[in-house]
C-alpha cells in the first residue's frame, strides 16, 4: 500500500511541484488547501483534495489522521506591507497547529519548509550557511521574523517532545507552475520594462524542481532536527537582471540604485502609505533587504538530501515559457 503524505500549501508554487514529485515517487497525496481557493495547478491530478484553514487545528488533526508523513509548505510570504498580524497567524500559529496534528496522529515524519532568510547571509566569496547566525531582525519584516519564530517552534518540539522533523529552507525559487505568480513576478516586471534599476545587493537563486526533489528526499533522508538550505547560484541583482533579460530577449535595467537613495525612496513609500492608507510599490524593509547581499551555500543539502543543481538559466526559461503558454506575458511597456 502506498504511503500517504499530507501536503499543506499544495496549490502554491512549490506545493504544485511537491505534489507532482510525490506522485512520481508513488506516494498517495492528501492535499490540504484553503477553502474556496482556486487550484488550477492541481487540476486532474490523482490526489485527495482536503479543504481547510491552517488556523483550524481540528481540521488539521483530521487531515493528518492516517498519514505516514506531513510536508508543511503552507505559508504567507507577504512582504508588503512589512508588518501584518496575518503573517504571524499563518506562519507561526499555523506551524504550531501542524506540529500538534503530527503529534496527535502519530505521523512518522514532518518536513517543515522554511526560508533561507532565517539564517545569516554571507558574501559572494564566503556565503552563509546553516550555522550563520540570524541577521534578519534588522529589517523589521514580519515575514522574516514570523518564519524565524516558526523554525524555532519546530526545533523546540524536536528537542522537547521528540518531534520527528527535518527542516528545509529554500532560497529564491524560479520555474514553472507559478500561478499566482509569486517569485516569477520579478521576471514579468523585468520583461515589461517596469524595473527602473537594480539595487546594490543580491540573493541566491534555485530551480523550484530542485527544491521539490530535496524536500521529498527529506521524507527518508536527512537528520531529525537538522536544517538544510536549498539553494544554488549567488548573483548580484545587476548580474541576475542581466541574465534574466538575456534569456527573455529584453533589455536589462541599466541604472544602479545607490543604497542611500534607495533607503530614502523606501522611507518616502512608508510615509505615503501612512498618509493614504494604501500600500506603496515597496517599503523600507524591502529596500533594506535589497541593499544587502543574501548569499548562501548548500553543501549540506547536496550531501545529505541529494539536492540537485539545475542551471538557473533553465529555471528562468521554464518560468518564462510557462508564463507565455498561460497568457501571463503581455506587451512590453518599454
For residue 169, CA distances in Å to 176, 198, 209 come to: 19, 25, 14
Supply the range of the domain harboring residue 167. 4-176+204-234+296-311
pLDDT score at 279: 86
In a domain, 244, yes or no: no
pLDDT tens-digit series, residues 43-53: 999 999 999 99
**Range 162-189 average pLDDT:** 97
**Range 228-233 average pLDDT:** 98
pLDDT score at 123: 95
pLDDT score at 36: 75
**Range 218-233 average pLDDT:** 98
- Whether 99 and 153 have beta carbons less than 8 Å apart is answered as yes
In a domain, 215, yes or no: yes
Flag whether pLDDT at 62 surpasses 90. yes
In a domain, 269, yes or no: no
Give the whole-number percent of the chain exceeding pLDDT 90. Answer: 95
In a domain, 59, yes or no: yes
Global pTM reads 0.96
Question: In this structure, what C-alpha cell is assigned to residue 65?
Answer: 489522521
In a domain, 193, yes or no: no
Cα separation of 205 and 173, whole Å?
6
Flag whether pLDDT at 265 surpasses 70. yes
Output the 3-class SS for the chain.
CCCEEEEECCCCHHHHHHHHHHHHCCCEEEEEECCCCCCHHHCCCCCEEEECCCCCHHHHHHHHCCCCEEEECCCCCCCCCCCCHHHHHHHHHHHHHHHHHHHHHCCCEEEEECCHHHCCCECCCCCECCCCCCCHHHHCCHHHHHHHHHHHHHHHHHHHHCCCEEEEEECEEECCCCCCCCCCHHHHHHHCCCCCEECCCEEEEEEHHHHHHHHHHCCCCCCCCCEEEECCEEEEHHHHHHHHHHHHCCCCCCEECCHHHHHHHHHHHHHHHHHHCCCCCCCHHHHHHHHCEEEECCHHHHHHHCCCCCCHHHHHHHHHHHHHHCCCCCCCCC
pLDDT score at 331: 43
CATH number at residue 70: 3.40.50.720
- Average model confidence (pLDDT) for the chain? 96
In a domain, 141, yes or no: yes
Flag whether pLDDT at 37 surpasses 80. no
Confidence of residue 91 (pLDDT cuts 50, 70, 90): very high
pLDDT score at 35: 82
pLDDT score at 108: 98
Flag whether pLDDT at 334 surpasses 90. no
Burial of 259 per CB tally in 10 Å (0-12, 13-18, 19+): middle
pLDDT score at 169: 98
- Whether 329 and 250 have beta carbons less than 8 Å apart is answered as no
Confidence of residue 1 (pLDDT cuts 50, 70, 90): low
In a domain, 85, yes or no: yes
pLDDT tens-digit series, residues 289-299: 999 999 999 99
In a domain, 273, yes or no: no
pLDDT tens-digit series, residues 235-253: 999 999 999 999 999 999 9
Count of domains observed in the chain: 1
Burial of 196 per CB tally in 10 Å (0-12, 13-18, 19+): exposed
**Range 188-206 average pLDDT:** 95
Flag whether pLDDT at 333 surpasses 60. no
Flag whether pLDDT at 310 surpasses 70. yes
Amino acid at each position: 500500500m502506498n504511503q500517504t503524505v499530507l501536503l499543506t500549501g499544495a496549490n502554491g508554487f512549490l506545493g504544485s511541484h511537491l505534489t507532482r514529485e510525490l506522485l512520481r515517487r508513488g506516494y498517495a497525496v492528501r492535499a490540504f488547501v484553503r477553502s474556496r481557493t482556486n487550484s488550477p495547478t492541481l487540476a486532474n491530478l490523482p490526489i485527495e483534495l482536503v479543504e481547510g484553514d491552517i488556523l483550524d487545528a481540528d481540521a488539521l488533526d483530521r487531515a493528518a489522521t492516517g498519514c505516514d508523513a506531513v510536508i508543511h509548505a503552507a505559508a504567507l510570504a507577504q512582504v508588503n506591507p512589512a508588518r501584518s498580524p496575518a503573517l504571524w497567524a499563518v506562519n507561526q500559529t499555523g506551524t504550531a497547529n501542524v506540529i500538534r496534528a503530527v503529534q496527535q496522529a502519530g505521523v512518522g515524519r514532518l518536513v517543515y519548509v522554511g526560508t533561507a532568510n532565517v539564517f545569516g547571509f554571507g558574501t559572494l566569496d564566503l556565503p552563509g550557511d546553516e550555522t550563520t547566525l540570524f541577521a534578519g531582525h534588522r529589517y523589521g519584516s514580519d515575514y522574516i521574523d514570523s518564519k524565524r519564530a516558526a523554525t524555532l517552534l519546530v526545533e523546540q518540539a524536536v528537542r522537547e517532545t521528540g518531534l520527528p522533523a527535518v527542516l528545509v529552507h529554500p532560497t529564491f525559487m524560479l520555474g514553472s507552475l507559478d500561478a499566482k505568480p509569486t517569485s516569477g513576478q520579478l521576471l514579468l516586471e523585468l520583461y515589461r520594462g517596469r524595473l527602473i534599476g537594480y539595487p546594490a545587493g543580491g540573493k541566491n537563486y534555485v530551480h523550484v524542481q530542485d527544491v521539490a526533489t530535496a524536500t521529498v528526499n527529506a521524507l527518508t533522508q536527512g537528520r531529525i532536527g537538522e536544517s538544510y538550505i536549498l539553494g544554488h547560484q549567488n548573483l548580484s541583482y545587476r548580474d541576475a537582471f542581466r541574465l534574466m533579460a538575456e534569456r527573455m530577449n529584453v533589455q536589462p535595467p541599466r541604472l544602479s540604485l545607490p543604497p542611500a537613495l534607495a533607503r530614502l525612496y523606501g522611507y518616502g513609500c512608508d510615509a505615503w502609505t501612512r498618509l493614504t492608507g494604501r500600500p506603496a510599490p515597496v517599503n523600507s524593509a524591502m529596500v533594506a533587504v535589497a541593499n544587502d547581499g543574501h548569499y548562501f551555500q548548500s553543501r549540506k543539502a547536496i550531501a545529505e538530501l541529494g539536492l540537485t543543481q539545475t542551471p538557473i538559466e533553465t529555471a528562468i526559461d521554464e518560468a518564462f515559457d510557462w508564463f507565455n503558454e498561460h497568457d501571463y506575458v503581455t506587451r512590453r511597456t518599454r
